[in-house]
Structure formats: structure tokens, C-alpha cells
Amino acid sequence: MGGHLTWCQEWYRHTEAVMRLTAMWREWERAVEEDAMSNWWLDHCDPHMAVLMSRDNGPFMACTEREHRPLGPLPLAQHPRSA
């Protein structure tokens, strides 16, 4: 995928992606029952997919079209009072 979007073919290996897609599915089920599909697109699908597929800061940002690359842990410094 070009531009500002990216996807990982092994999306299921990204905890954040699994959590977001699960939340979207649950809201999809509710929207179907409540006949509120427009709200689902605007309030759930569009925002979650924008974050998931962001090439700049989404969970797939290190992945390529053909290769899963997990993100490393965030840096952590020892608290000064613990030293």
C-alpha cells in the first residue's frame, strides 16, 4: 500500500490491532441491532482504521507489505529515586 496507510498481513500478531478490531466488531453487532450503521462508520470504523493503518504511528508502522515487523518496547529509564 502506498501513501500514508499501511497494513500488516499478520495483523493478528499485533495486540493493539486485535483489541481495536474486536471493539469494532462488538460495536458493529450493536449497530446492526439498533439500525445505526452510519454512526458505526463515523464513530468506530473510521477512527480505528485511521489509527491502525497510520504509517506514521500505527501498530503496523514497522511492517512492510510482505513482512511482519513487531514494534520494540518503549524506552524506559530508571526513576531517579529508585537508583
Give the separation between CA 61 and CA 6, rounded to whole angstroms.
7
pLDDT band at 74 (very low <50, low <70, confident <90, very high): confident
What are the residue boundaries of the structural domains of the chain, listed by start? 12-62
pLDDT of 9-57, one tens digit each? 999 999 999 999 999 999 999 999 999 999 999 999 999 999 999 999 9
Interatomic CA distance for residues 75 and 14, integer angstroms: 19
pLDDT value, residue 83: 57
Q: What global pTM score does this model have?
A: 0.79
3 state SS of 79: coil
pLDDT classification of 76: cutoffs 50, 70, 90: confident
| Cα separation, 20 vs 22, whole angstroms | 5
- Between CA 45 and CA 43 the distance in angstroms is 7
- Interval 61-66 mean pLDDT: 90
